[in-house]
Amino acid sequence: MSSPYRQLPSVDALLRTVEQRANGDALPRDLLVEAARATLDQARAAVAAGDVTQPLERLADEALAYARQALRPSLRPVINATGVIIQTNLGRAPLSDAAVRAMHAIGAGYSNLEYDLEAGERGSRTIHLTRLLCRLSGAEDALAVNNNAAAIYLALITLAAGREVIISRGQAVEIGGGFRIPDVLRQSGATLVEVGTTNRTYTRDYAAAIGERTALLMRIHTSNFRLLGFVHETPLAELAALGRERGIPTLDDLGSGTLLPTAPYGLAPEPTVQESVAAGADLVTFSGDKLLGGPQAGLIVGRAGLIAQLRRHPLARALRVDKTTIAGLEATLLAYVRGTAIEDIPVWRMIAARPEHVRDRALRLVGRIPGATVEPCESAVGGGSLPGETLPSFALMLRSEHPDELARALRLSDPAVAGRIVAGQLALDMRTVLVEQEDALVAAVCRQMAG
């Protein structure tokens, strides 16, 4: 009797079968060799554990799966059925068609990124977004950097290193992912001077703290939580007026920062960028990929003299945005200028979608999924904006003995689907599912429900 190990194919024999079964998929030779070896190692271990040897074809398919897995992108699309519109873990804002087209056009070729086409000489990458950001915000000048954390850092290190920044105690917050305003301040070399109390801070508190070393008055929009009850924060206009009187600039970190009002959609008013500029803030910082609905970026708008200082700081180079980001931001901002943001920008389309419309989409799909029902649910804006605020929505509800396992299987399917468990069922909120993903969603769910 031959040893069971002798029934295992050689690496070469396995490789030949793998290549036959690869269906013309051109996989790199060295990867296939690695896959064949790994598969045979496993097969040997199985034999050692007393298992029967798999047929050659089975081993070849295992090796193929190994090789294909190695070539599969780590970053891949997810269908967001969580109902959280700006989900940081799922990449925040999906981009508008116009933004994607612009990023493709600029990314795939050369551009006038730092080239003055009229003069035929070197230009500046920081000019491209200025015109639109100023038009939309009412500010004198504007600058885009890598993200809002970078925007705050650049502003602090440029304007307040070695000096003091006055912040209300109720605003010295953690924004998420361990990003804490007091830490950023320390990193920039500025000293935090906290004034007022957790729940109440008055203009006189700031006024009393101003001294020789004061560089900035800073307001932070406490975007991800809300204090209720006996609460007072100094209105931005009062803070900015105090700053002007004492010759100290005011920095307003809006976090999400929106150019459109949220109240028409049944949500609490989120402060707009224009309001902050009009209230007299000298610099306003906000994210590109939260309520703006564009690519990851940090936008800084405000007084020309201060923005010029930021632009000149050596760190501005380290925090600068690339050409595709500029292209995506410009296309996104243009939708606001044209007045088509609600229709064109996915984040706003989702916020503005009427519940009946979401329900109709769910009802059109439910018949294709055995055992599914349509139930009302609540969506959220997310992205550290509008805490506790929800939008009435509708979900496809999937009944399952093991909803956690179903949720996991859908996360691991291709494309991945992320839902949430509500009352022991897996809910797929249709508000955040893009229309063009509906068929893929149904197909993924049906595969898992059948399996």
Ligand X SMILES: *Cc1c(COP(=O)(O)O)cnc(C)c1O
How many Å is the maximal CA-CA distance in the chain? 98
Q: Report which residue's Cβ sits closest to ligand X.
A: 255
- Provide the 3-class DSSP secondary structure of residue 141: strand
Stretch that binds ligand X, among 11-19, 141-149, 202-210, 234-242 (CB under 6 A): 141-149
Of residues 70 and 268, the one with the C-beta less far from ligand X: 268
Q: Output the DSSP codes for 84-123.
A: EEE-GGGTSPPPPHHHHHHHHHHHTS---TTEETTTTEE-
Q: How far is CA 346 from CA 95, 260, 329, 343, 361, in A?
A: 7, 14, 14, 8, 16
Closest distance of CB 289 from ligand X, Å: 7
Per CB under 6 A, 126 contacts ligand X: no
Closest distance of CB 204 from ligand X, Å: 25
Touching ligand X, residues 167-196 (CB under 6 A):
175
# residues contacting ligand X (CB under 6 A): 13
Per CB under 6 A, 156 contacts ligand X: no
Stretch that binds ligand X, among 22-30, 142-150, 387-395, 428-436 (CB under 6 A): 142-150
Of residues 182 and 392, the one with the C-beta less far from ligand X: 182
Sheet with strand 164-168: strands edge to edge = 141-145, 298-302, 283-287, 250-255, 214-220, 164-168, 191-195
Q: Where are the beta strands (DSSP E) in 133-176?
A: 141-145, 164-168, 174-176
DSSP bridge partners of 143? 300
Per CB under 6 A, 148 contacts ligand X: yes
Touching ligand X, residues 56-85 (CB under 6 A):
none
Among positive and negative, which fits the CA dihedral 108, 113, 117, 118? positive
Closest distance of CB 215 from ligand X, Å: 19
Closest distance of CB 179 from ligand X, Å: 6
> Binding string to ligand X for residues 334 to 373, with x set by CB under 6 A, is what?
----------------------------------------
Per CB under 6 A, 298 contacts ligand X: yes
**36, 106, 129, 220: which one binds ligand X (CB under 6 A):** 220
Per CB under 6 A, 262 contacts ligand X: no
CB of 383 closer than 8 Å to CB of 86: yes
The two tokens of residue 399 are 């009944």
Of residues 170 and 298, the one with the C-beta less far from ligand X: 298
The two tokens of residue 214 are 């004061």
Stretch that binds ligand X, among 217-225, 265-273, 323-331, 352-360 (CB under 6 A): 217-225
Closest distance of CB 301 from ligand X, Å: 15
Of residues 96 and 258, the one with the C-beta less far from ligand X: 258
Of residues 62 and 282, the one with the C-beta less far from ligand X: 282
**196, 243, 384, 403: which one binds ligand X (CB under 6 A):** 384
DSSP state of 9: P
**Crossing angle for the helix pair 97-107 and 323-338, to the nearest 10 degrees:** 150
Closest distance of CB 42 from ligand X, Å: 42
Per CB under 6 A, 147 contacts ligand X: yes
- Provide the 3-class DSSP secondary structure of residue 430: helix
**276, 287, 324, 413: which one binds ligand X (CB under 6 A):** 287
Residue the block writes with tokens 């294709």 = 368
What is the total residue count of the chain?
A: 451
How many Å apart are CA 116 and CA 123, to the nearest integer?
5
Touching ligand X, residues 221-260 (CB under 6 A):
221, 223, 253, 255-256
Closest distance of CB 325 from ligand X, Å: 12
Closest distance of CB 332 from ligand X, Å: 14
What is the phi/psi pair of residue 35, to 5°? Answer: -65, -40
End-to-end CA distance of the chain: 40
How many Å apart are CA 53 and CA 50, to the nearest integer?
9
How many Å apart are CA 414 and CA 448, to the nearest integer?
11
CB atoms within 10 A of CB 354: 11
> Side chain identity at 411, as an amino acid letter?
R
Contact set with ligand X (CB under 6 A):
147-149, 175, 220-221, 223, 253, 255-256, 287, 298, 384
